[in-house]
Chain A
């Protein structure tokens, strides 16, 4: 479109309006987390006391710890499985749609359906619900996203290097470790970071697979119960921290994935 592109004032206005729509609600929420009065109405001065309140709230710290454990475990497993899946799908000779569909399904299946399916599955096998069942469930969609990110990188990968490595007598493991892994590292890390943010933000599936009681509660579950109770500046502070963490991790992921892209 380069020859017909004119610097458009209208385009700028449209973008300003859309970005305002996307970011003003979040900005207001963040701003009110620093509001001394704690009312959602009147600004009475800057304060960090709601963040202090979070640090002293044992329930929230417990939920944050659980979220971190689940996120790290689900990310570790899904990064390995998703990366191997991507390499396998990209290098196999026989193309088939069944595995492709299976790898794509977790991204489109309604999470409420997956949540009740997993609840039914675990309880029919008499498996006790808790952090391990949340991890197992999160790996499902995490690995699909890792697979997608790593495969995108593999599309531009020159497999003749792998061929050369094999011709020179390197085994599968050596070729994987010395050739594929270094070339794919940025995409693998980007996929892992994406998986981590998806996991720490996921609510519905965790809610159904955590079991009763508070022992396996995660941060999104904690936030959900706080929101249902009403608006408190403490939720705003917690929300600000969670969003800040996700945004930071995502920007690193994006930067890594762009850095060495062909």
Chain B
């Protein structure tokens, strides 16, 4: 049944206007800054240039992009490796437990990002719980300084985005047609082989959705490297931040932001294609 006419055009107008004026226009404006020259006292000179874009690919900054990509990729890998068994266990739990388990797996995701990151500073600092546990277990060396390192940044990212990956993989697993699994068993596939040949391939769209999400949010992250990296691990987000609030080079900051958006858009498009293809596959009668 087609929904009735509710003056739909009129209803969407206020929100669309808000998003066009306060999201689309500012994003286009800042992107256009990428092609302008830097003003003497901050701001821009209205002279066209490609210098900022070229500078974003300068080896010095290309290295920051590569570091960010490496950190984001590792965070994605570990998040998926932890999330998959968890999502699988939730999907196999008794049906009435599933919503509750899922809710509590996702709950931390909606709470304050800064606080969740701070929780790790409390645990990992030189006088923190982890060092105290080690001491209690007989460790007699210098307290470990685990904070302000690349592993700490990766841990922070994994911790913060894990709930979403669990959610994404769980929703793929719960949509999986149980008859396919039964068919595999009936045809003599063991539990492991059924998982490897049926369950895992069919849940890959969920893995892709969760993975792309972690990667995109990690590569542009600014809070985690600032807090758990102690400012020693510059990622693109921190570089963009510096250009706007410290170096006052807005056009270069805009150019960096543009590269970030390009990476993000490319990944989301790839993921959308994967999802569409996978959707086509499972839609076919099994």
Chain A positions near chain B (C-beta within 8 angstroms): 1-5, 8, 10-12, 14-15, 18-19, 21-23, 25-26, 28-29, 32, 39-41, 80-82, 84-85, 87-93, 99, 102-103, 105-106, 108-114, 116-121, 123-124, 136-137, 139-140, 143, 147, 159-160, 162-163, 166, 172, 175-176, 194, 197-198, 201, 203-204, 208, 220, 223-224, 227-228, 231, 235-236, 239, 242-243, 246-247, 250, 254, 258
Contact = CB atoms under 8 A, between A and B. Distances in A.
Contacts of A227: 114, 117-118, 121, 227
Given A1-B181, A91-B5, A102-B24, A117 B30 contact: yes
A12 B89 CA distance: 7
Contacts, number: 270
A5 B173 CA distance: 14
B91 interface: yes
A92 to B, nearest CB: 3
Contacts of B119: 25-26, 28-29, 239
Contacts of B88: 11, 14
Contacts of B247: none
B134 to A, nearest CB: 13
Contacts of A116: 30, 240, 244, 253-254, 257
Given A4-B178, A14-B88, A110-B261, 11 more contacts: A15-B86, A18-B89, A18-B162, A85-B11, A102-B20, A102-B23, A103-B19, A116-B254, A239-B112, A246-B112, A258-B99
B18 A140 contact: yes
Nearest to B84: A14
A204 B11 CA distance: 30
Main secondary structure on chain A at its contact with chain B? helix
B6 A99 contact: no
A258 B176 CA distance: 23
Given A88-B10, A110-B260, A29 B118 contact: yes
B127 A112 contact: no
Interface of B: 1-16, 18-20, 22-27, 29-30, 33, 43, 82, 85-86, 88-93, 99, 101, 103-105, 107-108, 110-123, 125, 127-129, 132, 159, 162-163, 166, 176, 178, 181-182, 185, 191, 216-217, 220-223, 226-227, 237, 240-241, 244-245, 250, 253-254, 257, 260-261, 264, 268
Contact of A84 (B14, B181, B217): B14
Contact of B15 (A85, A114, A117, A124): A85
A162 B7 CA distance: 13
Contact of B121 (A3, A26, A231): A231
Contacts of B182: 3-4
A163 B2 CA distance: 10
B128 A114 contact: no
Contacts of A82: 15
Most chain A C-beta atoms within 10 Å of own C-beta, residue among B7, B12, B29: B12
A3 B20 CA distance: 51
A111 B261 CA distance: 11
